[in-house]
Copies of this chain bind each other. A is one copy, B any other.
Amino acid sequence: MSLTAAEIAENNARHATRMARKKAVIDAAIANATDEHGLLIVITGNGKGKSTSAFGTMARALGYGMKVGVCQFIKSRTDTGEEAFFGKLPNVEWHVLGDGFTWDTQNREQDIATAKRGWAVATRMLNDPSYQLVVLDELTYLLSYGYLDNDLVLDTLANRPDMQHVIATGRGATDALIELADTVSIIADEKHAYRDGVKAQPGIDF
């Protein structure tokens, strides 16, 4: 059904009124948000996009000249696209601190020792205000598997420098981590190419 010129004009006018009203609501909300402090952002859930979301935010931070530290707690491979791209930039300190997944090592004591060594690196950054963003990639596993003392980790996060942002990623974030966070996104896995037999793609999956 096609509209007459008068109907189109009326629709457009109604749209403009509705949008003006919406803008007033949004502007008021923006005016209300005046607080500033370092954010703890948690990206969890089973869907694709947790680590990449952290790396994309990192790109933003670097665009503003911020200094960024990255701890990858589980990964052991150092041939990823993200490390090739970010690893050598002057404002970036990049640490691959893992031995692979628990099903790769098959050794719980080794996993715990590795987690503690990795956390020592993170702790140094979380005590140093010169790092404006710290990415704790796959931190959640170290908490949910009990590889680290959960209270110690949460205390260190809570007591970090005021303006330091932190992004923690990984499946199954604990309730205590979610409680402490300022922003939490849960990524649901609606569909994944892998389940249709597509193998992990360089530049996309790693």
Contacts and interface: CB of A to CB of B under 8 A. Distances in A.
A181 B191 CA distance: 8
Contacts of A105: 19
A63 B83 contact: yes
A155 interface: no
Contacts of A77: none
- Kindly report how many copies of this chain are found in the complex they form together: 2
A187 to B, nearest CB: 5
Contacts of A71: none
Contact of A53 (B33, B49, B84, B106): B49
Nearest to A87: B63
Contact of A85 (B32, B63, B205): B63
A57 B200 CA distance: 13
Residue among A36, A106, A204 with the most chain B CB within 10 A?
Answer: A204
Of A34, A58, A107, chain B has the most CB atoms within 10 Å of the CB of A58
A67 to B, nearest CB: 11
Interface residues of A, number: 84
Contacts of A190: 178, 184-186
Contacts of A181: 191
Contacts of A58: 56, 59
Interface of A: 11-12, 15-16, 19-20, 22-23, 26, 29-30, 32-37, 39, 41, 43, 45, 47-64, 66, 80-86, 102-109, 132-133, 165, 178, 181-194, 196-206
